[in-house]
Amino acid sequence: MARTISVAVWLIAAVTAQAAGEDPVTKPVAPTEAFWAAPVDVEFKADLDKTVQKYVEMLPRQFDAKKPHDLMIALHGHGSDRWQYVNQARGECRGARDMAARHNMIFVSPDYRASTSWMGPAAEADMVQLIGLLRKKHRVRRVFLVGASMGGTSSLIFAALHSDLVDAVISSNGTANMIEYENFQDAIARSYGGDKKTVPDEYKKRSPELAWKRFTMPLALTVGGKDKDVPPDSVRRLYAQLQKAGKKDLLMIDRENTGHSTSYDDTVAAIDFVVKAAATSKPDKKKAKAGAKPQDKDAEPKNDHEPAAP
């Protein structure tokens, strides 16, 4: 079941918010409307518990279903939902949309159990299922996982747990250690099925810093030195460990004087890094789920409809 949202509605909302003096960072705005078709709200039934789950999909206006495309999956932050990365003008969201457009990608933003997920077991199961569904629906070449805050954390967790399903990761202002992380504990406990004392293995399992060897794909990290919501120390340690191990397709953007946000320019730089790194290696055929459409042999799809640089 799908629902198409008119781009005109976004434009009206953005203009209205601006006229009212509201902060455009937290209000819906149109994406790169010259490139994207209107977003479609899609439902699927979760294999895990048969509940209805949702994701938003955006395709290029001139999408050719016969050609392979890379897929960007954007994971929203705490307290938000699937529409955050589709609508918001904040740097992490707009940067992801613009880079997906620049590289002619399919853009998908799932609820992954909505506002307080933190990539718990149910969200993890939904993500595995979703990637399989999208591979069957489209000719997916590579999967790029991007997210900020809870989404940045969840991107790292999912990549560590399922490195065979992800071709590149961009994590902004996340944590790499759920054992030591202290904020939002009530919400995380609900998602993980208990607190750190009752289900300690769940928190250990979802601490990517402890599974650093699984980051075999291109990885870009951004952190803020003054971030109190999701402190940067564990991500810095993850980066240091991977760097020490000789990982080459690795980028860290560490802004000492910023807080819990990543700028548009840094978001674009991080995504650009992993896109270029991923392009140097062919997609892993093992990452295609059973029933996925066969891929073309082309090394890189050409984007004949790239939007003007923002």
CA neighbor of 154 nearest in space, from 187, 184, 127: 127
Q: 3-state DSSP call for residue 170?
A: strand
Residue 287 has a pLDDT of 56
Mean pLDDT score across all residues of the chain: 86
DSSP 22: -
Which of the four pLDDT bands, split at 50, 70 and 90, describes residue 284?
low
Which of the four pLDDT bands, split at 50, 70 and 90, describes residue 114?
confident
DSSP secondary structure of 133-159: HHHHHS-EEEEEEEEETHHHHHHHHHH
DSSP 12: H
Residue 50 has a pLDDT of 98
DSSP secondary structure of 28-89: B---STTTBPPPEEEEEE-TTT--EEEEEEE-BTT--TTS-EEEEEEE--TT--TTHHHHB-
Residue bearing the bigger pLDDT, 291 or 109: 109
pTM for this predicted structure: 0.83
Residue 34 has a pLDDT of 81
25-57 per-position pLDDT tens digit: 333 344 456 899 999 999 999 999 999 999 999
Residue with tokens 């994701």: 55
Residue with tokens 């992380």: 181
Domains annotated on the chain, with CATH = 39-282 (3.40.50.1820)
263-283 per-position pLDDT tens digit: 999 999 999 999 999 998 765
CA neighbor of 47 nearest in space, from 121, 142, 151: 121
145-187 per-position pLDDT tens digit: 999 999 999 999 999 999 999 999 999 999 999 999 999 999 9
